[in-house]
Chain A
Amino acid sequence: MLLTLVILLPAVSALALLTIPSSQPETIRRAGFAAALIVFMLSLGLLWQFESNAAGYQFESDLPWIGIPDIHFHLGIDGISLWLILLTTFLMPIALLASWGITERVKAFFCLFLLLETGMMGVFASLDLFLFYVFWEVSLVPMYFIIGVWGHGRRVYAAIKFFLFTMAGSTLMLVAIVWLYRAAHTFSVPALLAHRELFSGPEQGWLFLAFFVAFAIKVPMFPLHTWLPDAHTEAPTAGSVMLAAVMLKMGTYGMVRFCLPLFPEAAGRHAPWIIALALIGIVYGALVAMVQPNIKKLVAYSSVSHLGFVVLGVFAFNQIAMDGAVYQMLNHGISTGGLFLLVGMLYDRRHRFEIAEYGGLSTPMPIYTSFFLFVTLSSIGLPLLNGFVGEFLVLVGASQARFVYSIIAGTATILSAVYMLWMYQRVFLGENTNPANANLPDLSLREKTVAIPVMAMALIMGVASGWFFKPMEASTARVVKQTGVPAHVKNAAPATYEGGTR
């Protein structure tokens, strides 16, 4: 019940917000923020009650929804879903607090975000494929409006591009879902997993691809990524944050939850070129990020690079890589979410994203500068901050599949330092170069409140990763076990024996 409550409460709150007259924007903001905060508190209850060592689904509730075809309102989470839901509930109040500057159609803005929250959490908790699809679409539409209505510059173009790319993918996925239903007469994920033989013939390859392309677009993987820089750049701050931090994870989550366990042979067969694309994405995203003249675009391309790590980890088919991949999903949410939050604060002051507009910001805005540096370091994987743990584990896992994967992916650690520090240098260091920036106010109390929890989380996740791995190990192990080790994966590690101080 708690899970259903957590997932539906935002949508219900959105309906409640409708009753507040539009003439009281401050009340709407506060109510919306309070709702998101309460959802976060409740979601902590999920963590509290979660059985850490159990691999199965917890908080399961299964209600028949539509009789024919047999669609259930079937929710349940394992350790992987748990953290993605917590990531969502953690960032939502922060993103809303960062949106105090929105003055147009406040009510619609806050309602859409709460609706978005329900959609995204539903995606992570659905155990019924059709329900999954509904939530997938439900989350798509609010984001479309968020970009299209409250975005910047070429917002309509960006929104439509986002919408079309994602729709193209989800149509394919819908076809595959229907096919599965015809084969197995159920949408239930656990039931499908138990009867994989019903769709393990030659059609498995096509089914896998249909799901995979839908997810690959969402991630986004090279070469399906070009909607992302536009969507990110034009979206309002909170939109970019939720898009980067959570929505992209819907793609990688889908791969972990569906592509691998449902179609293990196909996943194994296709893994080599998928990994190749992931590796290209890692290097390509970093190189293109390096030459971006626009801060937000730079961060967007860096996402392509970071998400490449996740896909690499998922398709390396071993426990360490899978742990690293899931951790990297959370890390990217925190680090890139944090970067977008901070860039948004700059935009609120100057309404510009071009790096060339800035220079020497550390003089007027010292606190902002140190915050930005901190999040930058988390993004480039400095040890003791979050990014390092996931990145390193993915590299370890990938090296055990094939060492060359790690060599190529590892170059991103050099390139990320180049593009992030170069941008940091041009925006913050040196003499102030633009008179328009000379008197910018430093962060307000509200803005500090927005940034500090994100930074604290980056530090906690870097130092105490055990807290995060503990509830999720059993689940990642199960996914790895369900998938098995495909024949093509050579074990690069010879006589491996267990080590450790204890």
Chain B
Amino acid sequence: METTTPQLWILPALPLLGAAINGFFGKRQSRAFIGGVACSTVGLAFLYAVYLFFTAGVGDTPRIDYIAPWISAGSFHADFSLYLDPLSMLMTLVVTGVGFLIHVYATEYMAHEDGFYRFFCYLNLFMFFMLTLVLAGNYLLLFVGWEGVGLCSYLLIGFYYLKQSAIIAGKKAFVVNRIGDFGFTLAMLLIIGTAGSLDYGTVFKAFQNAPVENGVGAVTIICLLLMMGACGKSAQVPLYVWLPDAMEGPTPVSALIHAATMVTAGVYMVARSSHLFVKSPVAMEVVAVIGCITCIFAATIGLVQTDIKRVLAYSTVSQLGYMFLGCGVGAFSAGVFHLMTHAFFKALLFLGAGSVITAMHHEQEMGAMGGLRKKIPTTFMTMLLACLAISGIPPFAGFFSKDEILWSAWHNGHPWLWLGGSITAGMTAFYMFRLLFLTFFGEPRSDHAQHAHESPSTMTVPLICLAVLSVIGGWIGVPKALGGSAHFEHFLEPSLARVPVEFSAYARASGSDPIDIPRPNPEPAEPEEPGAERLFSLIAVVIGASGIGLAYYAYVVKPETGQKLSAQFHGAYRVLLNKYYVDELYEVLFLKSTTAVSREVLWHAVDETVIDGAANGVGSTARAMGGFARLMQSGFIRSYAAWVLFGAVGALFYMILQWAK
């Protein structure tokens, strides 16, 4: 505790100030002023985060900045307190850093839109809630940020509020998130019941001492409910449906909220709760399986989408699946590592797509693009780097993080999950380069593509910054087997729980059930099989490269292949193009049936017919009273006073009779 106390509240306060200035006074200000306020508050927050990184001594002991009391009722307390440890430090740096670049980009991208001040007010408000989310010192404050970013997401998806599809997408996002939040809320209730508090310190300590749970008990239920919340926010199966539709929002919003930061909140929350999850093998398994299913499922849809942002959206869902897969197999730091590298390259991909869309005069269909390589070279180069990164080609950022997740899956005894992740890696490389080739290669397929121009430097400089990060961002986490020093893992170590030895898949695979013996802090295993790890890295690279090669063949060498394939597998193609008809299914299952039952049964039948019918039966008297009522209304105040008097006297009379008995 010898270093200076960090004034953590400054971090969220800065963007909140920006939001307030723009929200209250922005309407009459120039665009330069509005953009300046928005960018500078986030930029300052980033600088302060960097300052904290170097001076606050983020290490083994979390630093807690107590701000004010919030709720205190009976034995329950929750305060406004912020919490700085390696995990929240990392998240803060990513959120403010990437956030700042996207803010700068947006000043240009949104320059000609109406509601400029409104946009930046929401965007800054988002930063406020996101920082609250990652810095919160207890689950309830995390939930404040959690719901708050959801609100901003709602507002920003529906930013073009005249457009029906955008409004509906916004509401869908909010409601689906609320379903997840319902689970999160229940989890908090159970945590209070178990640990008596929602403060991280108290909760983690309580669970650290708990035994590993054999089967489904309280801890498992808590973790599964937390995962339900994470599924909503981080768009996992079955609650992923809102994220693709969220692409109705402006592209910088897609980059910031629906790729780099907000949607990773679920991963953050699971990693934050690692002390709980490692006590429940069942919950871990569920997390891993959901992650794996999501990453395959979304990747298959991504293969056939034709809207450039939709491809990226499904890709985001898929990559988030990887992160959960990592957490679920016990490699929390790998999951968070992928969260970070993904933030770099996916933000870049979206901003690049935004640059393409601007160049194409708001055309998002890749069918109308083509040949943009020479027209917008900076955008092309940066997007190429991002595609290499996401495809897992070394030495780009995505390689290291994805590789670590897949290796952990195999190493911790989940060969099927490894297989699923690896197949997805191949599909990822394929659809990303499909996007790249369709957009930038071949001949221009429309007038807009023919006359495209590169975006100004306010947009390209953020692209270049993110491109640099997409290249070098993975180098801090090179595993020992590949000659690195795993800095990243060591940095995060104090924040994350380690999976107890007895719960490893080895124990389960061997059929024994030695889960009862808790061993809270086993030593980290040294990479005992560097050869195997290297081999698996090689396999991953080969898979990624073949995906790219296949895409090159199908979209550059023989561009007609794609159409042939879709014609040949017409049925499957239709199913994928229509996203497995999940939206339609949900609509019938949940929306239509609920509204129909509510309207016809609950309202018309129960309320109006049964209950009111009974009441009116009693109250044919009502009709008689009607005449009486008119009588009362006539003389008004006087008769009314008389009426009260009459009632009171009647009551009194009755009482006196009773009393006199």
Binding site for B on A (CB under 8 A): 18, 66, 68-69, 108, 111, 133-134, 137-138, 141, 145, 148-149, 156-157, 159-161, 163-165, 174, 178, 181-182, 223, 225-227, 284, 287-288, 290-292, 318-320, 323-324, 327, 360, 362-363, 377, 382-384, 389, 392-393, 395-397, 399-400, 403, 406-407, 410-411, 413-414, 417-418, 421-422, 425, 429-431, 463, 465-466, 469, 473, 477, 492-502
Contacts and interface: CB of A to CB of B under 8 A. Distances in A.
B35 to A, nearest CB: 21
B598 A469 contact: no
* B-side interface mostly: helix
Interface string B67-105: 001111111110101000000000000000000000000
A395 B186 CA distance: 9
A421 B175 contact: yes
A389 B71 contact: yes
B185 interface: yes
Contacts of A411: 182
A149 B652 CA distance: 29
A226 B69 CA distance: 41
Contacts of A410: 182, 185-186
B141 to A, nearest CB: 9
A74 to B, nearest CB: 17
Given A417-B178, A498-B196, A134 B648 contact: yes
Given A421-B174, A430-B164, A498-B75, 17 more contacts: A69-B656, A165-B615, A182-B658, A226-B607, A227-B615, A284-B606, A320-B75, A320-B76, A323-B74, A383-B147, A389-B71, A407-B186, A425-B171, A492-B193, A493-B192, A500-B202, A502-B66
A69 B658 CA distance: 10
Contacts of B185: 392, 395, 410, 413
Contacts of A225: 611
Given A133-B651, A430-B164, A500-B77, A287 B602 contact: yes
A226 B613 CA distance: 10
Contacts of B286: none
13 contacts: A134-B648, A137-B647, A160-B629, A164-B619, A287-B598, A287-B602, A323-B73, A363-B162, A396-B76, A399-B193, A466-B69, A497-B196, A500-B197
Contacts of B181: 413
A396 B192 contact: yes
B72 A466 contact: yes
Given A156-B629, A466-B69, A469-B72, A399 B182 contact: no
B335 interface: no
A192 B104 CA distance: 70
A420 to B, nearest CB: 10
A291 B603 contact: yes
Interface string B41-76: 000000000000000000000001010011111111
A384 B76 contact: no
B178 A406 contact: no
B70 A159 contact: no
B440 to A, nearest CB: 36
Interface stretch (B265-273, B510-518, B538-546, B635-643): B635-643
A161 B620 CA distance: 11
B633 interface: yes
Contacts of A406: 186, 189
A324 B74 CA distance: 10
A493 B456 CA distance: 60
Shortest beta-carbon contacts, A-B, top 7: A499-B197, A319-B74, A323-B73, A493-B193, A291-B599, A287-B598, A499-B202
A164 B621 contact: yes
A290 B595 contact: yes
A24 B70 CA distance: 48
B158 interface: yes
B216 interface: no
Given A323-B74, A396-B76, A148 B633 contact: yes
B459 interface: no
A400 B71 CA distance: 18
Given A320-B73, A466-B72, A145 B640 contact: yes
A424 to B, nearest CB: 9
Given A141-B644, A284-B602, A417-B178, A178 B66 contact: no
B207 to A, nearest CB: 13
A182 B636 CA distance: 36
B369 interface: no
Contact of B648 (A137, A395, A397, A400): A137
B161 interface: yes
B9 to A, nearest CB: 14
B380 interface: no
B189 A430 contact: no
A410 B187 CA distance: 11
* A-side interface mostly: helix
A111 B174 contact: no
A291 B601 CA distance: 11
B196 A429 contact: no
A418 B473 CA distance: 41
Given A421-B171, A502-B66, A161 B648 contact: no
B148 A399 contact: no
B594 to A, nearest CB: 7
B603 A399 contact: no
A174 B647 CA distance: 11
Contacts of B174: 417, 421
Contact of A138 (B71, B168, B633, B644): B644
A474 to B, nearest CB: 12
B647 to A, nearest CB: 6
A284 B611 CA distance: 13
B586 interface: no
A360 B647 CA distance: 50
A411 B195 CA distance: 24
Interface in B145-181: 147-148, 151, 154, 158, 161-164, 167-168, 171, 174-175, 178-179, 181
Contacts of B194: 493-496
B505 interface: no
Contact of A141 (B196, B626, B640): B640
Nearest to A493: B193
B137 interface: yes
A413 B199 contact: no
Interface string B596-623: 0111001100110001100100010110
Contacts of B140: 383, 392
Contact of B643 (A134, A141, A413, A422): A141
Contacts of B161: 362, 429-430
Nearest to B76: A320
Nearest to A223: B611
A473 B71 CA distance: 12
Contact of B654 (A178, A323, A392, A407): A178
A91 B255 CA distance: 44
Contacts of B658: 178, 181-182
Nearest to B601: A287
Contacts of A477: 74
A383 B74 contact: no
Interface in B195-212: 195-199, 201-203
Contacts of A389: 71
A382 B158 CA distance: 18
Contacts of B464: none
A107 to B, nearest CB: 9
Contact of A431 (B162, B199, B636, B643): B162
Interface centre among A157, A174, A430 (most CB of B within 10 A): A430
A464 B611 CA distance: 41
A108 B659 contact: no
A316 to B, nearest CB: 11
Contacts of B606: 284
Nearest to A391: B185
B143 A383 contact: yes
B589 interface: no
B476 interface: no
A19 to B, nearest CB: 13
